[in-house]
């Protein structure tokens, strides 16, 4: 890390205070639980690879993880299936929205694991004899990434399952292409439950730090996934993590990240730190407006941009 400022003496509260002045974006309203989010919630957390943590006010406020779960579902699928998982889905950016009804032409595979089609598939690739077993494995895996026992919001899981029409459409499309091997409704149910896991900025920063550290959780010392898996996941976060905003993100922030409709952003700066920002109002690409802004500030002031020149 070519750190301009030591993350441990960094004025994170000052960053938060300034970011709170930023108004813009709109809270997602795809399910009632998300529509009810507080637009003024802003939590920020950092976890270094030595397991030191720094956080602001509201870093302990919980939201549903939503699409910030996708890198971790990909990690668990790779861990359980090895490189064979990579034959089952693409890793190319789409330049399209997260829920586009589109598969890779010619193969019928999901374009990448960071869009909904890919996450429906990776959640089906996680080990487990049936939907309940896969959901248990996912919750245990996410908990290992976070370093504490996480739980699921049953109401969010139910709303996601009932109202996720585009996810049902994608699952049926993948069934018809022969690329999804479990039942369509089962795939949506497992993915909906994964999106409904409750986390706060502190959890997400630990999850990002685990990837940034090559798969070993710096808070618990547990090796959650192998270093090759962590590298694969972070690579795809860099190219696809912010959907059709990934190019702009890499230029402005330069840190592999994943956005989500609940307003969470998880960042994994390889060999440096994990970070997270939670703030519900979103831009057109579904990225937290304040989250993007704060990530840009952190990247600049902590020297995290992957392509910063000396």
As measured in angstroms, the least distance from the Cβ of 135 to ligand GLN is 15
Question: Toward ligand GLN, which CB reaches closer, 210 or 288?
Answer: 288
Crossing angle of the two packed helices 12-20 and 289-302, in degrees rounded to 10? 150
Q: Which of 37, 58, 90, 98 binds ligand GLN (CB under 6 A)?
A: 98
Quick check: 195 binds ligand GLN (CB under 6 A)?
yes
Cβ-proximal residues to 287 (8 Å cutoff; 6+ apart), any chain: 242, 243, 245, 249, 259, 265
Residue pair 99/115 in contact by the 8 Å Cβ criterion: yes
Nearer to ligand GLN, 53 or 123 (CB): 123
Question: Residue 55 interacts with ligand GLN (CB under 6 A)?
Answer: no
Question: Is residue 159 a contact residue for ligand GLN (CB under 6 A)?
Answer: no
**Beta carbon of residue 97, minimum distance to ligand GLN (angstroms, whole number):** 9
Minimum distance of ligand GLN from residue 187's CB (angstroms): 12
CB nearer to ligand GLN: pick between 160 and 200: 160
DSSP 8-state assignment for residue 26: B
Residues 157 and 56: their CA atoms lie apart, in Å, by 28
- Please report whether residue 67 would count as binding ligand GLN according to CB under 6 A: yes
67 annotated as ligand-binding = yes
105: CB partners within 8 A, 6+ apart: none
Closest approach of ligand GLN to the CB of residue 297, in Å: 23
What is the pairing mode between strands 264-269 and 257-259? antiparallel
Instruction: State the distance between the two ends of the chain, measured CA to CA, in whole angstroms.
Output: 11
Question: Binder to ligand GLN among 66, 112, 217, 288 (CB under 6 A)?
Answer: 66
99 binds ligand GLN, rule: CB under 6 A? yes
Cβ-based nearer residue to ligand GLN, 174 or 261: 261
Measured N-to-C along each axis, helices 70-81 and 131-146 cross at an angle, to the nearest 10 degrees, of: 110
> What residues contact residue 83 under an 8 Å CB cut-off, 6+ apart?
none
Q: Is 260 in the site for ligand GLN (CB under 6 A)?
A: yes
* b/e sequence 168-185, b meaning 16+ C-beta within 10 Å: bbbbebbeeeebbebebe
Nearer to ligand GLN, 30 or 220 (CB): 30
Q: Which residue is nearest to ligand GLN (CB)?
A: 67
Q: Which of 37, 117, 76, 74 is nearest to 224 (CA)?
A: 76
Identify which range of 8-16, 135-143, 160-168, 244-252 contacts ligand GLN by CB under 6 A.
Answer: 160-168
Task: Report the C-alpha gap between 194 and 72 in whole angstroms.
Answer: 10
Report the alpha-carbon distance of residue 249 to residue 241 in Å, rounded: 9
What residues from 273 to 302 belong to the interface with ligand GLN (CB under 6 A)? 286
Has 2 been labeled as part of a binding site? no
Helix (H, G, I), strand (E, B) or coil at 269: strand
Choose between 205 and 261: whose C-beta lies nearer to ligand GLN. Answer: 261
* Number of alpha carbons in the 13 Å side-chain half-sphere of residue 16: 22
By C-beta, is 66 or 299 nearer to ligand GLN?
A: 66
Ligand-binding site membership of 160 (annotated): yes
Radius of gyration of the chain (CA): 18
58 contacts ligand GLN (rule: CB under 6 A): no
Residues at the binding site are: 67, 116, 160, 167, 191, 243, 261
Binding site for ligand GLN (CB under 6 A): 66-67, 98-99, 116, 160, 164, 167, 195, 260-261, 286
């Amino acid at each position: 890390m070519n750190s301009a400022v030591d993350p441990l003496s960094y004025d994170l509260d000052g960053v938060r205070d300034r970011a709170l002045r930023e108004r813009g974006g709109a809270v997602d309203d795809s399910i009632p639980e998300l529509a009810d989010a507080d637009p003024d919630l802003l939590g920020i957390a950092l976890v270094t690879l030595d397991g030191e943590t720094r956080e602001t006010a509201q870093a302990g406020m919980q939201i549903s993880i939503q699409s910030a779960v996708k890198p971790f579902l990909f990690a668990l699928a790779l861990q359980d299936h090895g490189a064979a998982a990579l034959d089952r889905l693409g890793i190319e950016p789409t330049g399209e929205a997260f829920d586009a009804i589109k598969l890779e032409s010619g193969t019928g595979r999901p374009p990448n694991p960071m869009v909904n089609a890919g996450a429906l598939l990776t959640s089906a690739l996680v080990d487990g004899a049936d939907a309940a077993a896969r959901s248990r494995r996912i919750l245990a895996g996410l908990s290992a990434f976070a370093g504490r026992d996480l739980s699921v919001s049953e109401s969010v899981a139910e709303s996601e399952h009932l109202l996720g029409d585009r996810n049902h459409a994608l699952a049926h499309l993948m069934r018809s292409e022969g690329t999804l091997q479990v039942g369509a409704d089962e795939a949506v149910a497992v993915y909906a439950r994964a999106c409904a896991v409750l986390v706060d900025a502190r959890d997400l920063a630990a999850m990002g730090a685990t990837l940034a550290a090559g798969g070993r959780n710096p808070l618990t010392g547990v090796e959650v996934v192998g270093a090759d898996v962590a590298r694969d996941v972070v690579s795809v976060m860099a190219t696809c993590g912010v959907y059709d905003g990934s190019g702009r993100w890499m230029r402005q922030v330069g840190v592999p990240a994943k956005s989500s409709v609940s307003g969470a952003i998880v960042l994994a700066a390889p060999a440096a730190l994990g970070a997270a920002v939670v703030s519900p109002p979103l831009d057109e690409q579904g990225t937290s407006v304040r989250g993007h802004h704060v990530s840009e500030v952190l990247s600049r002031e902590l020297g995290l941009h992957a392509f910063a020149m000396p």
